[in-house]
A and B are shown apart, each in its own frame.
Chain A
C-alpha cells in the first residue's frame, strides 16, 4: 500500500532532478535569509549558484546540534517569526533546549510524511490510530497525531502513560495502529498479560515504533506478544520529527522520504562522503522546509544507505537500523541524554566534586538511569539526613534538566573506575546489538 505512489516509486534519475531543484531553492533561501548560513557559505567560499546538481551538496558546510544551541532560540529560522505557527524543542545541555519552528506549510508536509509512514504499517482511512507518544514540545506525539489525521484515520490522542487506560481504549475503541516507543509497546504487552487480556482479542494490526534504539529481537518479541506488524520509524526534531524514514512490511531498511530529505553518509573522522552500503554517520539536508531548513545536519547516528529497489516497489533510499552514535548521546526511555548535562548539574551544585558515573540498564523493558556520585570529604556529613538531602537534591536537579527519573547513589571515593586518570563516565548495560 502506498500513500503517494508517484513519489515513493519515482525513477531515481527523476528523483535526482527533483532533489536538485529543491536543493538549489533551499540553498538560495538559507543564504539570503539566515545570517549563520551566509557566513558559513562565505567562509567555505561557496555560492548558491555553485550547486549545479544534488551531488554538489558535498560543497556545503555542515550544521551541528551546537549551531542550533548557539543560535538559541530562533536564530536559524529562515522566515519571519510571524510565519511560524508552531515550535518544538528537544532537551539540551544546561537546560537550554534546541528549538525548531514550522510554518503552516511545514506542518502540512510533516503530516503528509507521517501519513506516508502510517501506510507503511498498513494504515489507511479506516484505521483507528492510538498515539501513545508524549504530546508537547517533544515531536513524537503531535507529529504522529497530525499524520494520523492527514491519513483520515480516527485519531486517539491519548499521549504517553496511564497504561491500563491505554489498554481499555484499545479494547473499547478498536485501535488498529499503535504509535509509541518500542519499550512502551513491550510494557503494554506485559500489562495486558497481567490483566489477563489476550492481545489477539484486540484489533491491533500494526505499530509504528521509534524514538529510541531497539533490536530485531525486540521487534520479533513485540510482534509475537502484541500480534501485529512492528515498523521501525526514524526521525529527529532538528530535521522534522517522526516521519523522516520508516521501514515497510519487508523490513529491509528504513525508506527515507528523499523528496524532502537529502541523505548522505560520511566518515565521521574525515568528514568525507562514503559510498552506498558503507557504514558512517548519517547527514541530512532538508530540501523542502520553510521554517528552519538545515544544510548537511550531522545526525551523529551511525548507519548505512542502500538504493536498490525494495521488494515493496519503493525506490527511495533505505537506511539500516541505527547502529550507534558518533557522539556520547544516550537515548533513555526515548529522551536524549548527554552525559555533559548530568555533569553540568553536578558542577553547578558546587559542593559536589564531579566524580560520577552514569549507569544505564534495561530492567524488564524499561530503561533505568542511575547516577553514582562519589562522596568526597567536602560533602560528607556524619548525619544521615544531610547525605540523604544531598542525594535527593542531586536527583531533583538532574530530573529537572533531563525530564526523566533518575536514581542517585552515593558511593565511596575512588570506587568509580578510572582509566588513564580519566573516569569512565558511562556504563550502558542494555544489550541492543
Chain B
C-alpha cells in the first residue's frame, strides 16, 4: 500500500508551478505524477518522497490536499502485461477509480498505480495472481 497525495488545483495560470515550487523548496521529491482535469478544476495526484511533509507544506501555502492509499503494481513491459493485472481485478469484481503508469525502476518493468474502493481485496487478488506489489520502501529508495 502506498500513500498518494492529491491536491485541488483551480484551472488558473501558474497554480501547478506554485505547487511544484512549494514541494521543491521543501525538499520533497516527486516520484510520480498525474493530473485529472475538468473544465473547472483539476486534481493533481502524486507520489512523493515524504507524503506527510508534502501535505504540511501544501496546507501552509493554502492548498487543499489529502492522502489516499493506492496500490502500485509492477507490470512486465510487454504486450498483455497490464491486461493480465486488470483481468485479476475484474475477476475479483473490483472497479478501478483511476490509474496511471510511471517508470522508475532499474529493471525493465513498468509501474502501475491503482486507486480502488476495496484496497485489501484488490491487493489479495493481485498477490494471489502473482503480481508484485511495491511498498513505500521500494518506491522512495529506488
Residues of A that sit less than 8 Å from B by CB? 375-377, 380-384, 387-388, 391, 409-415
Which single member of A388, A391, A409, A410 contacts B8 (CB below 8 Å)? A410
List the B side residues contacting A414 at CB < 8 Å: 62
Q: How far is the CB of A372 from chain B (nearest CB, A)?
A: 10
CA distance A380 to B5 in the complex (A): 12
Nearest chain A residue, comparing its CB with the CB of B68: A382
- Contact (A413, B41) CB under 8 Å given A380-B8, A383-B97: no
- Contact (A410, B115) CB under 8 Å given A377-B66, A380-B66: no
Nearest chain B residue, comparing its CB with the CB of A388: B38
List the A side residues contacting B17 at CB < 8 Å: none
List the A side residues contacting B10 at CB < 8 Å: 410-412, 415
Task: Jot down 17 A-B pairs with beta carbons below 8 A, ordered by A.
Answer: A375-B41, A375-B64, A377-B59, A380-B64, A382-B43, A382-B45, A382-B68, A383-B43, A383-B97, A383-B115, A384-B43, A409-B40, A410-B10, A410-B40, A411-B10, A414-B62, A415-B10
List the A side residues contacting B66 at CB < 8 Å: 377, 380-382
- Does B47 have its Cβ within 8 Å of any Cβ on chain A? no
List the A side residues contacting B115 at CB < 8 Å: 382-383
What does DSSP make chain A's interface, helix, strand, loop or mixed? loop
Q: Is B38 a contact of A382 with CB atoms below 8 Å?
A: no
Q: Is B64 a contact of A412 with CB atoms below 8 Å?
A: yes
CA distance A388 to B64 in the complex (A): 16
Residue of A376, A381, A382, A387 with most chain B CB atoms under a 10 A cut-off: A382
Residue of B10, B64, B98 with most chain A CB atoms under a 10 A cut-off: B64
List the B side residues contacting A387 at CB < 8 Å: 8, 38, 41, 43
CA distance A214 to B47 in the complex (A): 54
Known: A382-B115, A384-B43, A412-B63. 15 other contacts (CB 8 A): A377-B65, A380-B66, A381-B66, A382-B4, A383-B115, A387-B43, A410-B8, A411-B41, A412-B10, A412-B15, A412-B62, A412-B64, A413-B62, A413-B63, A413-B64
Q: Which residues 82-129 in B have Cβ within 8 Å of A in the complex?
A: 97-98, 115
Annotate B1-13 by CB proximity to A: 1 below 8 A, 0 otherwise: 0001010111000
CA distance A415 to B8 in the complex (A): 12
Q: Is B4 a contact of A410 with CB atoms below 8 Å?
A: no
CA distance A409 to B40 in the complex (A): 7
CA distance A401 to B38 in the complex (A): 27
Q: How far is the CB of A325 from chain B (nearest CB, A)?
A: 31
CA distance A17 to B98 in the complex (A): 78
Q: Is B43 a contact of A412 with CB atoms below 8 Å?
A: no
- Does B36 have its Cβ within 8 Å of any Cβ on chain A? yes
Q: How far is the CB of A392 from chain B (nearest CB, A)?
A: 11
List the A side residues contacting B43 at CB < 8 Å: 382-384, 387
CA distance A391 to B62 in the complex (A): 21
Annotate B50-79 by CB proximity to A: 1 below 8 A, 0 otherwise: 000000000100111110100000000000
List the A side residues contacting B45 at CB < 8 Å: 382
CA distance A387 to B8 in the complex (A): 10
Q: Is B62 a contact of A384 with CB atoms below 8 Å?
A: no
List the A side residues contacting B6 at CB < 8 Å: 380-382
List the B side residues contacting A411 at CB < 8 Å: 10, 41
Which single member of B59, B65, B98 contacts A383 (CB below 8 Å)? B98
Q: How far is the CB of B64 from chain A (nearest CB, A)?
A: 5
Q: How far is the CB of A414 from chain B (nearest CB, A)?
A: 5
CA distance A382 to B65 in the complex (A): 9
- Contact (A376, B40) CB under 8 Å given A383-B98, A412-B9, A412-B10: no
Annotate B32-52 by CB proximity to A: 1 below 8 A, 0 otherwise: 000010101101010000000
Q: How far is the CB of A348 from chain B (nearest CB, A)?
A: 22
CA distance A410 to B40 in the complex (A): 7
CA distance A381 to B6 in the complex (A): 8
Q: How far is the CB of B67 from chain A (nearest CB, A)?
A: 9
Q: Is B41 a contact of A410 with CB atoms below 8 Å?
A: yes
Q: Is A391 a contact of B64 with CB atoms below 8 Å?
A: no
Q: How far is the CB of A103 from chain B (nearest CB, A)?
A: 50
Q: How far is the CB of A141 from chain B (nearest CB, A)?
A: 35
List the B side residues contacting A375 at CB < 8 Å: 8, 41, 64
CA distance A383 to B36 in the complex (A): 9
List the B side residues contacting A384 at CB < 8 Å: 36, 38, 43
CA distance A412 to B10 in the complex (A): 6
List the B side residues contacting A410 at CB < 8 Å: 8, 10, 40-41
List the B side residues contacting A383 at CB < 8 Å: 43, 97-98, 115
Q: Is A412 a contact of B40 with CB atoms below 8 Å?
A: no
Q: How far is the CB of A37 from chain B (nearest CB, A)?
A: 50
CA distance A409 to B39 in the complex (A): 10
List the A side residues contacting B41 at CB < 8 Å: 375, 387, 410-411
Nearest chain B residue, comparing its CB with the CB of A380: B64
Q: Is A377 a contact of B64 with CB atoms below 8 Å?
A: yes
List the B side residues contacting A413 at CB < 8 Å: 62-64
Q: Is A412 a contact of B8 with CB atoms below 8 Å?
A: yes
List the B side residues contacting A382 at CB < 8 Å: 4, 6, 43, 45, 66, 68, 115
CA distance A380 to B45 in the complex (A): 13
Q: How far is the CB of B103 from chain A (nearest CB, A)?
A: 22
